């Protein structure tokens, strides 16, 4: 019997347990700038996937993804035992850590939107100075219809 609501509650609980353990109990300096962003648990509650991001030491510093992954791999056993103690389920789920690519994708999307806005402004500036290539009014008017009906052939 599948209970996806229970899996969602378990994922939320596991996420908070692991995040607090990384922040307060695990003293690995490689995990200092790791943030747990999301957790997913399978419906049978046997496997948990935790998504994380890594920040740099400063705004300009590049994050060290490899060191963070190594730190999480080393701490997986301790974190799993903390999850087992904190959730109280019969079978403690296995923990898998996956680098969250959503912030990078969002940053890329913002760059694309900024580029599109700049192109739109360029087109708008060019449109202000543009003039029609042909007549000012290229569409047929009612005056043209009246003159064609008087001496022309019947329709």
Using only the alpha carbons of the chain, give its radius of gyration.
31
Statement: the pTM of the whole predicted model exceeds 0.85: no
Confidence of residue 135 (pLDDT cuts 50, 70, 90): confident
Q: Is the pLDDT of residue 1 over 70?
A: no
> Cα–Cα–Cα angle for 27, 28, 29, nearest 5°?
110
**Which tens digits make up the pLDDT trace of 110-125?**
999 999 999 999 998 8
**CB atoms < 10 A from the CB of 82, how many?**
20
Chain mean pLDDT for the chain: 85
CA 155/CA 93 separation, integer angstroms: 83
Q: Using DSSP, how many helices (H) and how many strands (E) does the chain show?
A: 4, 3
Q: Is the pLDDT of residue 134 over 60?
A: yes
CA distances from 53 to 57, 132, 133 (A): 13, 53, 54
What is the pLDDT at residue 153? 54
CA 62/CA 76 separation, integer angstroms: 24
Helix crossing, 4-20 with 65-87: angle to 10°? 120
**Which tens digits make up the pLDDT trace of 47-94?**
999 999 998 888 888 888 899 999 999 999 999 999 999 988 889 999
Confidence of residue 38 (pLDDT cuts 50, 70, 90): very high
What is the pLDDT at residue 58? 82
| Residue of 82, 71, 1 whose CA lies nearest to 48 | 82
Q: What is the DSSP letter of 154?
A: -
Q: Is the pLDDT of residue 145 over 70?
A: no
What is the pLDDT at residue 139? 77
**Mean pLDDT of the region 34-52:** 93
| Residue of 58, 68, 64, 18 whose CA lies nearest to 40 | 18
CA 31/CA 17 separation, integer angstroms: 15
């Amino acid at each position: 019997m599948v209970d996806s609501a229970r899996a969602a509650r378990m994922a939320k609980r596991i996420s908070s347990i692991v995040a607090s353990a990384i922040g307060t109990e695990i003293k690995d300096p490689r995990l200092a700038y790791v943030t747990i962003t999301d957790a997913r648990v399978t419906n049978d509650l046997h496997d948990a996937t935790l998504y994380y991001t890594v920040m740099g030491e400063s705004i300009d510093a590049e994050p060290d993804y490899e060191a963070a992954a190594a730190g999480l791999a080393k701490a997986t056993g301790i974190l799993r035992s903390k999850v087992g103690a904190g959730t109280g389920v019969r079978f403690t789920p296995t923990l898998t850590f996956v680098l969250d690519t959503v912030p990078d994708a969002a940053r890329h999307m913002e760059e694309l939107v900024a580029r599109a806005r700049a192109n739109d402004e360029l087109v708008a500036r060019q449109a202000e100075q543009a003039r029609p290539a042909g007549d000012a009014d290229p569409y047929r008017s009612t005056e043209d219809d009246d003159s064609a009906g008087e001496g022309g052939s019947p329709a």
